[in-house]
Structure 1
Amino acid sequence: MKDISSWERIGFGGKSTLEKEELIHPITKELYLIKYPRQFKVGVSWEDITELIAADIGRLLGLKVMDVEIVFRNERRGSLLKNFIPKGVMNEEGGSLLSMFDGYEGFIESSLTVEELIEQGFQYMKQLHFWEQIKQDFIEMNYFDILIGNQDRHPYNWIILFESIEKQSFSTIYDNGASLGFRFDDQQLLAHITDRNKLEKYMRKSTVKGGLFEKKKVKSIDMIQYLSKYYKNESKSIVERIKQFDFEIFNKMIDEYEILSDIQKQWLKLIISFRRKSILQWLGEGE
């Protein structure tokens, strides 16, 4: 892993749950962001590494994901992310866009649950005048998040690029680190690997924010079933790619990462296989 201690810091990455630094490459002058894993009083976090693995999974699914590299800066490990926003292109976070609609602030504090909550969230998405342009990417992001178990896809974790008056597009998928069991240490991972009941319980409790909510979550199974029911056409392509996920390439990739412990490698191979199988079962396409 390379050391980027000499890179110039030009900012601190704005408000975030993770400590960040904005950096500039000393030669190419390209912009980068380094994110450091959170420090908890109890437990661990290896979300810089899960950020890297999630990006690998996204690419295997044919999604637009960030370029991620694990580096050291001033003796601290973090994930280095290349800026994906084209120079001069205006952009806005989803949360800022949705909060402009009447009733949205009340909605995120509402007592709605399950399908009613998901449905209302999508009703706000449909009010975006460019919804048809971004709909496919937004739906695919949700399937991806359920596959990796992303716990933090709130509406400020996706961006719209305003390329012109006529053209708006969904950005590269970013902030994928709060996934893949990032809070589990090796002992906890091993317990889930060796105890099928524990693994199944972990999957049953799986939740997502769906890019719609900040403080609320819905069960992954409810989101999957909603998407397959109301966005059937948009779901077809990503579901097929999940079905055809190349575990030979993925497992080889995992084996080659020296930064991972043997237990982490076992876990990552198992959890993606298990989550994929669960998703297909929820869709009625179980093997």
Structure 2
Amino acid sequence: MNEALEDYEIHDISHVEKDLLEPLGTKSKFWYSSNGDEFLFKSVESNNGIRFGEDWAEKIACELAHLLGLPHAHYELATYNNKRGVITKNFISERGEQLMLGNELLETFIVSEDGNNPNIQYVDDVYKIMTNTVINKPIGFSSLKEIKSASEFFVGYLMFDALISNQDRHNENWGTIITVKGIKHLAPSYDHGASLARNISDEVRHNRLTSNDRGQQVTQFVLKAKSWFLNRETRSRIKLLDAFNEYALMEQEAAKSWLKILKELDDEKVYHLISRVPEVLMSQVSKDFTFKLIQCNKSNLLALNF
């Protein structure tokens, strides 16, 4: 797996003019126009400091989603006035289309059950929204075997979260696109920067890769990753694997199809897409750890029975 490949380009957009600051989230973001299209620049800088690794995590997740055929926003590495980040083209492609976020879709459930707590989401509530409200698959993406509806695609999103240890699919990180005719479609998967354990140090990565202590190894580390779905009784966040498994029990045929796609995922291709991140952004130990993390998560997903 040592074949050298061309690094991903880091696009310098220092010349662009900001059109509009993006208010959602904690990161420094702004919209700009290029050749008639709208793009969003997301910096690794935030109100709480610099989040190193969010750029390469977003890029790797994007390329991995492409390999799986999972609907996703496309991301490129970028800099703006020496600030690291990523750029992504607006996936609202038609004038008059609107993006409605999960928190708005969940509003009735949230108010009735939890006193308007903005972070509340339960797996079965989201399933009801996908099957009764959103209904339609993402715009521009073809149906797959046993994967045709919004719900059948969304269970793939949850599998993907478990694969990349994405702990940030809160209720503003999924939604529906409403067309000019009022038809709702599942939005593509987006905002994966808080994945792949991008926030741990290289020292910790090295120790987990080389440790003889089973409890410190990557195989155990990945099992700790939590979703933003809650347990109804304890109100605590459930694990990523449990969130996928719980939804998969309601969409078994689609979940099995997604797992078949995952099983056929070529490990060498995964390693290569990780290796293409420029060394100035991601060290070799980070790449080795990231590959191992994905391998462990893949193994855990394929071991599920439902």
Q: Same fold (TM over 0.5)?
A: yes
Partner of 2:300: 278
Q: Is 1:227 aligned with 2:227?
A: no
Partner of 1:149: 165
Which letter maps to 1:209?
W
Match 1:264 to one of 250, 270, 286: 286
With structure 1 as the length reference, what TM-score do the two structures score? 0.85
Matches for 1:144-223 after TM superposition, within 5 Å = 144-163=160-179, 165=181, 167-195=183-211, 196-198=214-216, 199-210=218-229, 217-223=237-243
Q: What do the CA deviations read for 1:14-33 (whole angstroms, capped 9, x no partner)?
A: 221211111112xx131111
Matches for 1:2-151 after TM superposition, within 5 Å = 2-25=11-34, 28-38=35-45, 45-88=52-95, 89-99=97-107, 101=108, 103-108=109-114, 117-123=122-128, 125-128=130-133, 130=135, 133-151=149-167
Return closer, same or farther for 1:211/1:31 CA change in 2, 3 Å cut-off.
farther
How far residue 63 of structure 1 moved from its aligned partner, in angstroms, is 0.9
More helix by share: 1
Which letter maps to 1:261?
S
Fraction of identical pairs, as percent: 23
Return closer, same or farther for 1:142/1:212 CA change in 2, 3 Å cut-off.
farther
Return closer, same or farther for 1:122/1:256 CA change in 2, 3 Å cut-off.
closer
SS in 2 for 1:8: coil
* Aligned residues between the structures: 275
Match 2:275 to one of 255, 260, 273: 255
Q: What do the CA deviations read for 1:93-113 (whole angstroms, capped 9, x no partner)?
A: 1211221x2x42353569xxx
How far residue 119 of structure 1 moved from its aligned partner, in angstroms, is 3.2
Distance 2:122 2:78 in 1: 40
Say what the alpha-carbon RMSD is for the aligned residues.
2.9
Q: Is the 8 A contact 1:228 1:283 kept in 2?
A: no
Q: What do the CA deviations read for 1:211-265 (whole angstroms, capped 9, x no partner)?
A: 999x952112322332332210121221111111111112122223223211111
How far residue 84 of structure 1 moved from its aligned partner, in angstroms, is 1.1
How far residue 283 of structure 1 moved from its aligned partner, in angstroms, is 3.1
SS in 2 for 1:260: coil
Q: Is the 8 A contact 1:150 1:176 kept in 2?
A: yes
Q: Is the 8 A contact 2:30 2:42 kept in 1?
A: yes
Return closer, same or farther for 1:131/1:145 CA change in 2, 3 Å cut-off.
same
Partner of 2:141: none
Q: What do the CA deviations read for 1:53-86 (whole angstroms, capped 9, x no partner)?
A: 1101101111121221111111111111111111
With structure 2 as the length reference, what TM-score do the two structures score? 0.80
SS in 1 for 2:19: strand
SS in 1 for 2:170: coil
SS in 1 for 2:88: strand
SS in 2 for 1:235: helix
Distance 1:81 1:229 in 2: 33
Return closer, same or farther for 1:242/1:61 CA change in 2, 3 Å cut-off.
same
Return closer, same or farther for 1:2/1:44 CA change in 2, 3 Å cut-off.
closer
Distance 1:18 1:39 in 2: 4
Q: What do the CA deviations read for 1:143-171 (whole angstroms, capped 9, x no partner)?
A: 11111111110121112112254732112
Distance 1:181 1:194 in 2: 17
